[in-house]
Amino acid sequence: MQADIQQRLDDFIRRKGLRRTNQREAIVQAAFSQDEHFTAEELFERARKIDRDASRATVYRTLGLLVEAGLLREIDLGGSQTTYDPNFLDKPSHNHLVCIDCGRVVEFEDKHVDLLNDCVTRRLGFKALRQSIKIDASCEKLRQNGRCENLIKSRLSGKRLLKKR
């Protein structure tokens, strides 16, 4: 976990008069140990490996805090569970593309996209505070080669693709 995150979290905790607890530390560590997105349930499982005492309730409560602190962002990938994205500190205005073939989520940042959206927003009489773009797409590699390593990998690992809503 980057020092940057720890720093911001400490600030937040001090500012709000909160306390450092083992459970919280474990959950935070679990959240930022990888740059992969996760659901509350997935985070719960990860956190348990660090601190067997971590409970689902505390995971949910901590998620709320981390979102409030601006360290985590809720994103909508279309499932029935909320997905959390830990990468907004590194890439403050990135967006998501979801491959409908293999379920892979690709993050992308593009200045032009941001600029154009600002433009459109201003034209409508507003000031853009946040934009989220989700693109559902199919894999060109799969179509052209008949195969795509991500699809194979995700099938093998039994990884959830698009969960039902």
The entry of DNA, a copy of itself, none near residue 132 (CB within 5 to 8 angstroms by kind) is a copy of itself
Name the phi and psi angles at 52, rounded to 5.
-60, -20
Contact map string, positions 60 to 99, toward DNA, x by CB under 7 A: xxxxx---------------xxx-----------------
Residue of 53, 76, 90, 109 that binds DNA (CB under 7 A):
53
The entry of DNA, a copy of itself, none near residue 131 (CB within 5 to 8 angstroms by kind) is a copy of itself
Smallest distance, Å, CB 163 to a copy of itself?
14
Rounded to whole angstroms, how far apart are CA atoms 60 and 58?
5
The entry of DNA, a copy of itself, none near residue 99 (CB within 5 to 8 angstroms by kind) is a copy of itself
- Taking alpha carbons only, the member of 90, 86, 59, 93 closest to residue 71 is 86
Measure Cα distances from 105 to 24, 33, 67, 120 in Å: 27, 18, 20, 26
